[in-house]
Amino acid sequence: MSDNVTFTVPTATYDNTLYAATGGWSETPDATKGVIINDDLTTSADISACSLTVNAGKKLTINNAFTVDNAVANNGEIVVNDGGNFLQGTTSTYTAGTGSTFKLNKNSTSAADKYVFWSSPVVGQNMYGIYGAAGTPTYVMTYNTGTDYYDVVANPVSGGTGIGYSVKVPAAASPVTFQGTPNNGNLTVTLNSTPNTANGNTWNLIGNPYPSNLNLKSLYNGGNNGIFESIYFWDTVTSTTQQEQNATGWRIFNAVSETWTNGNTNTNGLSVKPGQGFIVKAIGSSTQFTNAMRNAATASTFVNKAAQSATEGKYWVKITTPASTQSTIAITYGQGAQNTLDLFDSKMMSTGTNAIYSYINNADKLAIQGRGNFVNTDVVILGNKHSVAGQYTISLYDKTGLFSNGQEIYLKDKLLGTYTNLQQSSYTFTTDALEQQDRFEIVYQNNGALNTLDVVKNELVIYKDGEQFTVNAPSKIKTIEVYDAAGRLVKQLKPNTNKTSFVVESKGVYVVKVTTEKETVTKKVIK
């Protein structure tokens, strides 16, 4: 018997000079071996290791997933590129040798003077220094729950673990670099759960604290229930103002239904990349990040959860403004949701200047609405808000489940009495600068059941003739109704002829609804 037991861990050394014949490795690296980097290495596949040592003067560049269960000894340089993941075990230690560096690089396509939510994956990063040679941001801000505004923090500011910062981009498409000791293990972030006295909100700006992807659903389920199910990401393409009441660029994730507001455009699935900041609503004094929430898979593209039955499905509705900006909302069916406000619903952060939303209870404006099991008699009420008069387009952005299998989606314009099958075409309408909650609905029954109006193009003609407009139809015109941009009826005619003319007094955009013996047609005219 002996009390002295020695374990020798096998090693896999990378040295492209010594082991060129075997791809630079003395042994194939795996989770049972200690990995030693004795030559510059750029990964092209996932690597697991029992431990990691980077020798002095050597550089390990990680483009994939690099997982280390135990000690990390960095005497050279470790660089995690955008799309890469560095994952340490819960008890893994990190030792930095003299002159060594650990960096995580992020690509950015943001325009200058726009705001980005960042969260540092390393200890001690000055958030004013993340853009390097591109310049120092004018502002670095934290979120003030009590005022629903962003407060500027002084330079330098050491990025707190799990804290999100709103940073003004100093130059277009500037890359970002975080440098320091990588965060690891269980990390608790204090939340302000005291409601704002003006509106009762408890918004907090936090973020992914790890140099690896973070699973948002795992954060919601395992973060000690400190946050609501809706998670908000700043994703504007137009605004250079970063105050709550002007915020129009929110992309939202519901962690219960696993649904994003923007379908398949870089926001699907469950994970976000390192460095990502986001806003949550606190229901507790803290939330906890754990290593189990990390994800080594790529987070640049996401895949929504597929519906599992004929009563489940999702779709996304998009509105496009005259300036070509867009806003998207999601409607989901099944998964245990109810047709009342519940965990499957995500409220709008704000409606800003332009928005489309669904709503329930005549009050709750939703970016994501979860409905019960699908029935084709269901009705979803939409609201729309516009900052300027002009032409707007509502269209179907994406769909899953039963909506990918033939179920129609009709947009009902209650003002004009028309139905548009969004599975087949978009709907363009003209409006004034206003907000409406009684013009549009989504319904699901077929054309016959809806008594859909037959809109025929290229037969009935409306054209301007001097100061008047002329309607020329292939059959007798029973009625003509003229609506202004605000939807008000300003003129009504009953000509009972095939051709007639009318005059509108004021300049502007009008919608003309013509009913003949055979059809009803709506067209836009401009004076």
User: What pLDDT is attached to residue 312?
Assistant: 85
C-alpha 431: how far from chain center: 27
Interatomic CA distance for residues 503 and 431, integer angstroms: 20
The label of the residue with tokens 């947009």 reads: 411
3-state secondary structure of 333: strand
- Which phi-psi region, left, alpha or beta, contains residue 283 (left: φ > 0; alpha: ψ -120 to 50)? alpha
- Flag whether pLDDT at 499 surpasses 50: yes
Please state which of the ranges 253-257, 361-365, 408-412 shows the lowest mean pLDDT. 361-365
Q: Show Cβ contacts of residue 466 under 8 Å, excluding neighbours closer than 6 positions.
A: none
Q: Are 155 and 126 in contact (CB under 8 A)?
A: yes
Q: Which amino acid is at 271?
A: S
Find the DSSP H helices in 359-496: 447-450
Interatomic CA distance for residues 133 and 177, integer angstroms: 11
- Flag whether pLDDT at 408 surpasses 60: yes
Nearest in space to 196 (alpha carbons), one of 249, 153, 233, 143: 143
Please state which of the ranges 78-87, 173-182, 317-326 shows the lowest mean pLDDT. 317-326
Q: How many other β-carbons are positioned within 10 Å of the β-carbon of residue 90?
A: 11
More confident residue, 35 or 83: 35
Tokens of 352: 């800003």
The label of the residue with tokens 């067209």 reads: 523
Q: Are 407 and 424 in contact (CB under 8 A)?
A: no
- Flag whether pLDDT at 209 surpasses 90: yes
521 to 423, 453, 468, 478, 483: CA distances (angstroms): 21, 8, 19, 12, 13
Tokens of 517: 């013996």
Q: How many other β-carbons are positioned within 10 Å of the β-carbon of residue 48?
A: 17
Q: Are 41 and 54 in contact (CB under 8 A)?
A: no
Tokens of 279: 């806003």
Nearest in space to 119 (alpha carbons), one of 136, 145, 142, 147: 142
**pLDDT, tens digit, for every residue of 454-469?**
333 336 778 776 778 8
